């Protein structure tokens, strides 16, 4: 996507009918320091109800640790962060059964015990991956209530749904169990978090009614991970969005030196993270943006960004578009997933392969970002099925040398697969 298209797409999305409303907000910039510590972060209204939620939520999966290699939470630092968050009006806490090896929910229960239950929102999740029988569902739910020291959960999610876990959750009737808990007053709002393609999301949205959904959304994934399509599906279905990975696991605070230079030049006082938060917060159907804050400095910087939250101006969108372009210059394929090249007469799924490859390039994680999915492709859809006919090249608006890129990607896949097999066999000499 060129810069003009990037801007156009972001503006078009801003025009989609929101199901959330900004409730409070004072002018601020990413670099301003709130002198008045009683200032509160901006809140958004849940649909047309009187319920308001802080635009910034506290993700409890990256809490400070006593030892970086272990799960134990540094509770004294984390408690101070929770207290400071509450003081700033950040009263949405998002945890999950497996976070910090199960210790996150226990900590959240302890940390919030001193506050009236009605003064904060608890969000937690049930991971179908951990369920074997229907009895496990109730066991896990009751365990969560005990750990969180509460008799109800405000926002309850089915965790990390994808094309494998959604059928499993349906077979185990997890949704039906959670609906019963909702009717019994143990759950206020029922949603899901999601990690897959928009087609799978559309199916989940079609098959059950949901109060909210949590998706991965940030300015790099907007096209790369097809977050734009996910956001559109949810907005059209009237489902408010909770954002996870607004910083792409912290990657958007480091990016590349060229990207950082672009941001600093545009606003020397704004933190790099504030650009990413303001990007997602400018989308009207975003209800809460989760930030997994590890250090008190992260929290303070975020409070500055979200106190009197300021949506991006057109000039600032342009700055982000420049940074995205610079980012794509660093090894990722410039594919924008427009699909103009499809169908390939040989059956190669071109945009999907480039999307996966780019996910690996931006995360640096070859196995999770690329191999995990690519290795399961039907051989006819793999890059190696390309017969170099050139039909796609003529149609690609980004002028990508598609057969060449496919060849490189598949060669890397084969080399890594060969090396891994060699290492597994315990050979002394394996390819570099």
Binding region for ligand SF4 (CB under 6 A): 335-341, 344-346, 348, 350-351, 354, 386-392, 395-396, 398, 400, 402-403, 406
Report, in Å, the least distance between residue 223 CB and ligand SF4.
Answer: 10
Residue 157, beta-bridge partner list: 125, 191
Report, in Å, the least distance between residue 353 CB and ligand SF4.
Answer: 9
* β 52-54/43-46 pair status: antiparallel
> In the chain, what's the furthest Cα-to-Cα distance?
68
Local structure of 92: helix, strand or coil = strand
Report, in Å, the least distance between residue 342 CB and ligand SF4.
Answer: 7
Tokens of 243: 């954002």
Whose Cβ is closer to ligand SF4: residue 54's or residue 403's?
Answer: 403
Whose Cβ is closer to ligand SF4: residue 218's or residue 336's?
Answer: 336
Whose Cβ is closer to ligand SF4: residue 194's or residue 354's?
Answer: 354
Whose Cβ is closer to ligand SF4: residue 237's or residue 346's?
Answer: 346
Contacts of 265 (CB under 8 A, 6+ apart): none
250 φ/ψ angles, rounded to the nearest 5 degrees = 95, -10
Whose Cβ is closer to ligand SF4: residue 122's or residue 353's?
Answer: 353
Report, in Å, the least distance between residue 403 CB and ligand SF4.
Answer: 4
Q: CA-to-CA distance for 354 and 377, rounded, in angstroms?
A: 13
Cα angle for residues 308, 83, 297 (degrees, 5° grid): 65
Q: CA-to-CA distance for 38 and 81, rounded, in angstroms?
A: 15
Contacts of 179 (CB under 8 A, 6+ apart): 190
Residue 343, preceding bond cis, omega within 30 degrees?
yes
Q: CA-to-CA distance for 214 and 204, rounded, in angstroms?
A: 13
Whose Cβ is closer to ligand SF4: residue 148's or residue 344's?
Answer: 344
Report, in Å, the least distance between residue 385 CB and ligand SF4.
Answer: 7
Report, in Å, the least distance between residue 329 CB and ligand SF4.
Answer: 15
Report, in Å, the least distance between residue 264 CB and ligand SF4.
Answer: 30
Whose Cβ is closer to ligand SF4: residue 95's or residue 349's?
Answer: 349
Q: CA-to-CA distance for 106 and 97, rounded, in angstroms?
A: 10
Whose Cβ is closer to ligand SF4: residue 105's or residue 405's?
Answer: 405
Report, in Å, the least distance between residue 334 CB and ligand SF4.
Answer: 7
Whose Cβ is closer to ligand SF4: residue 255's or residue 400's?
Answer: 400
Report, in Å, the least distance between residue 349 CB and ligand SF4.
Answer: 9
Q: Helix H segments across 219-370?
A: 221-224, 227-236, 257-266, 272-281, 296-306, 314-328, 350-363, 366
Give the other-Cβ count within 10 Å of 247's Cβ.
Answer: 21
Q: CA-to-CA distance for 227 and 244, rounded, in angstroms?
A: 11
Using alpha carbons, select from 193, 206, 290, 208 the residue that is nearest to residue 248: 290
């Amino acid at each position: 996507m060129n810069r003009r298209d990037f801007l156009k797409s972001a503006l078009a999305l801003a025009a989609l009918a929101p199901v959330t409303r900004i409730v409070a907000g004072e002018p601020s910039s990413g670099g301003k320091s709130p002198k008045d510590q009683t200032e509160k972060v901006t809140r958004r209204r849940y649909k047309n109800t009187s319920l308001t939620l802080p635009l910034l939520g506290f993700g409890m999966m990256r809490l400070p640790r006593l030892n970086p290699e272990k799960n134990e939470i540094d509770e004294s630092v984390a408690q101070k962060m929770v207290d400071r968050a509450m003081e700033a009006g950040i009263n949405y806490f998002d945890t999950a059964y497996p976070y910090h090896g199960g210790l996150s929910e226990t900590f959240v229960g302890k940390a919030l015990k001193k506050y009236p239950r009605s003064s904060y929102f608890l969000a937690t999740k049930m991971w179908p991956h951990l369920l074997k029988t229907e009895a496990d569902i109730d066991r896990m739910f009751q365990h969560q209530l005990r750990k969180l020291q509460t008799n109800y959960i405000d926002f309850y999610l089915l965790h990390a749904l994808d094309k494998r876990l959604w059928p499993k959750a349906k077979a185990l009737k997890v949704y039906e169990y959670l609906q019963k808990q909702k009717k019994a007053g143990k759950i206020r709002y029922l949603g899901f978090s999601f990690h897959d393609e928009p087609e799978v999301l559309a199916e989940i949205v079609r098959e059950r009614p949901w109060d909210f959904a949590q998706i991965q959304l940030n300015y790099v994934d907007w096209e790369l991970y097809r977050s734009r399509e996910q956001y559109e599906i949810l907005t059209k279905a009237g489902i408010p969005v909770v954002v996870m990975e607004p910083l792409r696991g912290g990657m958007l605070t480091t990016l590349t030196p060229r990207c950082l230079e672009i941001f600093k030049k545009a606003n020397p006082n704004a933190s790099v993270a504030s650009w990413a938060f303001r990007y997602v917060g400018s989308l009207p159907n975003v209800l809460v943006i989760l930030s997994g804050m590890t250090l008190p400095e992260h929290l303070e910087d975020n409070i500055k960004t979200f106190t009197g939250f300021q949506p991006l101006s057109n000039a600032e969108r342009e700055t982000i578009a420049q940074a995205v372009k610079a980012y794509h210059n660093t090894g990722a394929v410039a594919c924008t997933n427009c699909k103009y090249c499809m169908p390939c007469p040989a059956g190669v799924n071109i945009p999907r392969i480039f999307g996966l490859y780019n996910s690996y390039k931006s995360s640096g994680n070859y196995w999770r970002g690329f191999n995990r999915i690519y290795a399961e492709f039907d051989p006819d859809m793999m890059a190696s099925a390309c017969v170099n006919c050139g039909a796609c090249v003529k149609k690609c608006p980004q002028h990508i040398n598609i057969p060449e890129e496919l060849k490189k990607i598949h060669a890397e896949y084969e080399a890594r697969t060969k090396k891994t097999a060699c290492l597994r066999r315990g050979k002394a000499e394996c390819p570099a």
